[in-house]
Amino acid sequence: MGINQTIRDHFKWVMVVMVALALGGFIIMDIMTGKGSLFGNSQAVMGKIEGEKIDIRQFNSTEQMLYRGGGDSYAQRNALWNYMVENRLVQEEAEDLGLGVSDEELEELTYGTDLSPIITSRFTDPTTGQVDRARLSQIRQTLESNQAIDPNFKRFWEYQKGEITKDRLQTKMMNMVAKAIYIPTWQAQMWADEQAKTRNAAYVKVPLDAIPSTDVTLSDEDYKAYLRENSDKYKQDEEVRRLQYVVFEVKPTAQDSAKIFQEVAKLKEEFKATDNDTLFIQNHGGTFDGAYYKRSDLSPFIADTLFKMPVGEVYGPYMEDGQYKVAKLLGRKAIPDSVRARHILIRLDQNSSPELINQAFNTIDSLKQLIESGQARFDSLAMQFGQDGTATKGGDLGFAAPGQMVKPFNDLIFFEAEPGKLYKVTTQFGVHLVEVTDRKYINNDEGVKVGYVSKYIDPSIKTQKKVQSEAMELAETYRKWEDLEKAVAERSDLKVEVSNPLKRNDFFISGLGSGQASRDMVRWAFGDDPNLDEPKPGDVSPVVYRYQQPERLFYNKFVVAGLKSIQKPGKPRLADVKDEIEEDVLNWKKAQLIAERVKGKSSLEAIAAEFGVKVDTVQGVRFNASSVEGIGQEPKVIAAIFVTPMTQFSEPIIGDSGVFVVKPLEEIPNPAPPAIDQVKRLQLTGLQSNVRARFMTALRKKANIKDYRSNFF
């Protein structure tokens, strides 16, 4: 009994200690990672720039405000990240230099005469090429009067102020660096002397294909020798990984095509019988824009047939652009050669708030009522309310030929509007009140109005699943790439592809494009997928990646991927890049062999005869030329023309496009050397342009940037 009690007492204390340790562990974990963490919520940090954190929630909110879910989300996130990084670096550098942008300067950059390039790029009228000052004035008035405005637009405008400020500070700093550059007279004189040098020369070019690839055997020593000479060419600033992959294309079967043909044939009969063509087209995803088209504007597949058909007849099904289509002739009429119209435009754009949109439509309705009731003249109201260049002319647009106006406006004035009546139409520029004032009929060309209903010849779900199963079976059967590659080699319908060097946050893979599947493959390759183990070179991903046809609801390819190589930052190891550099090494080896055969020849003619090429000449080659006609961009060859003694021929020169031997024939003196001041200006302009091109790259290179985006996207 005493022994049992002793055991129980000891066991009780052991349990107390274990429970305490467990509770302590939970508390420490909560302190380190919880929302109430003493060290902050590390789970929400997607990056640090010079120690300043970027919160994922703030990032997502800004992304949504800017892009509202449209476009390529990965490209947009990349652009936003780059802006945040650069903005932080510019602000920090500006603070150290004592630079800033005052409120008055920001106001001038946004609304004044010295507009920021941010404003000019977003508020330039594409029809006139001029900044839309009326639109800017309207926005300014709305913001300053505290009128009701879309909160998203207010946030966008504040964000835009940050963009303008960053751009201005960056410009100031680049100008400071550019203006600090000085070119001494001796250097300008040296450049002037180089520009004055001109020579004529003879040369022989032996192309690399003079030696067949089958005649060249590459050894490991060849690879090593090439890499020793060219390692900087393959140097990486950060870790890169390469994928190898096999694509299973998904194509519709004959059964898929036949089924879709039958579906469209059935629609043809329904289309012919319907009393409401517009509703039928809308309900079946067809196309109809109300325009009348000339014969030359229609598809050659159906143009002749449509112009012979009676109105109401349906043609098809016929195949075009990967679809089965039926076309119904809805009308025919003579098309004017030109139309004269006038309009009153109230401008809107994609950033316009609902309040501004309603206000624009209400204004147009009020103007329409004033004109139709006879209380005001069209031209007077156009001069008062019009917001484009035609306002000063009473809104008159003059005569326009078909296609000169944007499509909604063009279709209205040519095919729908009756002269003397008022119409409303919305275009990319805003809301228009329109009146046709004249029409000219010269050729009396006939046009037809056509409605289409179609279906893409897409693979069925059954077909997609079958191809996916094939890909999954391959990935599950062969877990090592070496074995998988042997299996693929036995099939004529499959081949192995190799990706471009991929960085951790890349979302584009050569041969596959961008998107979620590509991003998922990159995350797997770097071990950033939380559901999968980090791979080693030679591993096959357990996931089969699915690529969807853009804007279509089917998968057009399934991809089995493997990790090919990992290259650490710095100069590469041969094992990491051997496959990538094979073609370059082959060409380098060919060039070495050609150079060896050239060395024993005593003349250009003998070299030309050896390789079945000709001796050619170049005239007026300048020392500072970047390219020479017949030779191309071969800086080593151009240099050899000037360093080789006159009438002697050079050693073999291994260029990018072949092996060259040159022989200078004549030096031509320059009777009018360029003025030193002019040379200074030209060289200074070139160097200052380099500053502007490389400024941000240099700033980022010396910055402390921690990028954790791959944990989130």
On the question of a common fold for 198-232+582-667 and 338-440, the answer reads: yes
Every domain of the chain and the residues it spans = 2-40, 198-232+582-667, 238-251+460-570, 254-334, 338-440
Instruction: Supply the pLDDT for residue 601.
Output: 87
User: Three-state DSSP class for 467?
Assistant: helix
Rounded to the nearest 5 degrees, what angle is found at the Cα of 533, between the Cα atoms of 530 and 539? 135
pLDDT at residue 425 greater than cutoff 60: yes
The pLDDT assigned to 40 comes to 43
Q: Of 26-40, 182-196, 388-402, 610-624, which range is least confident?
A: 26-40
Q: What is the mean pLDDT of residues 632-642?
A: 92
d(CA 42, CA 55): 9
The phi and psi torsions of 406 (rounded to 5 degrees) equal -60, 150
Q: What does the alpha-carbon distance between residue 443 and residue 447 come to, in Å, rounded to a whole number?
A: 12
Answer yes or no: is pLDDT of 8 > 70.
Answer: no
Asked if 440 contacts 368 with a C-beta cutoff of 8 angstroms, the reply is no
Q: What is the mean pLDDT of residues 620-639?
A: 89
Lowest mean pLDDT among 14-23, 474-483, 652-661: 14-23
**Position 28 confidence tier, pLDDT thresholds 50, 70, 90:** very low
Give the pLDDT of residue 41: 52
User: Three-class SS of residue 289?
Assistant: coil
Q: How far apart, in whole angstroms, are the C-alpha atoms of residue 667 and residue 647?
A: 11
Q: pLDDT tier at 127 (50, 70, 90 boundaries)?
A: low
User: Is residue 18 over pLDDT 60?
Assistant: no
Q: What is the pLDDT of residues 415-424, one digit of tens each?
A: 889 999 999 9
Of residues 65 and 561, the one with the higher pLDDT is 561
Lowest mean pLDDT among 35-39, 337-341, 455-459, 544-548: 35-39
pLDDT of residue 671: 67
pLDDT digits (tens, 9 = 90+) for 436-460: 999 999 988 899 999 999 999 999 9
State the DSSP H helix or E strand holding residue 113, giving kind and residue range, or none if neither.
Answer: none
Fold that domain 198-232+582-667 belongs to in CATH: Chitinase A; domain 3 (3.10.50)
What's the pLDDT at 175?
92
The H-assigned helical ranges of 531-656 are 574-577, 582-599, 604-611, 635-643
Amino acid at 676: I
Contact 171, 179 (CB under 8 A): no
Phi and psi at residue 374, in whole multiples of 5°? 80, 10
Lowest-confidence pick of 10-14, 185-189, 296-300, 477-481: 10-14
Q: How does pLDDT run across 301-349, given as a tens digit for each residue?
A: 899 999 999 999 999 999 999 999 999 999 999 999 999 999 999 988 7
Q: How far is CA 432 from CA 342, 361, 424, 554, in A?
A: 10, 9, 6, 40
- Going along 354-457, which residue ranges are E strands? 396-400, 422-427, 430-440, 446-456
d(CA 653, CA 629): 17
Q: How far is the C-alpha of 176 from the C-alpha of 174, rounded, in Å?
A: 5
CATH for 338-440 is 3.10.50.40
pLDDT on residue 32: 40
pLDDT at 577: 87
pLDDT at 255: 97
pLDDT of residue 576: 83
Q: Is the pLDDT of residue 25 over 60?
A: no
DSSP H or E run through 117: helix 117-122
**pLDDT, averaged across the chain:** 89
Task: For the chain, give the longest Cα–Cα distance.
Answer: 121
Q: Report the pLDDT averaged over residues 509-528.
A: 95
The per-residue pLDDT for 33 is: 40
Average pLDDT over residues 240-246: 96
Q: Is the pLDDT of residue 261 over 70?
A: yes
Q: What is the pLDDT of residue 30?
A: 41
- Look up residue 580 and give its amino acid: E
What would the pLDDT profile of 73-116 be if each residue is shown by its tens digit?
899 999 999 999 999 999 999 999 999 999 999 999 999 999 99
CA-to-CA distance for 328 and 309, rounded, in angstroms?
Answer: 9
pLDDT of 244 > 80? The answer is yes
Calculate mean pLDDT across residues 51-55: 92
Compute the average pLDDT of residues 125-154. Answer: 81
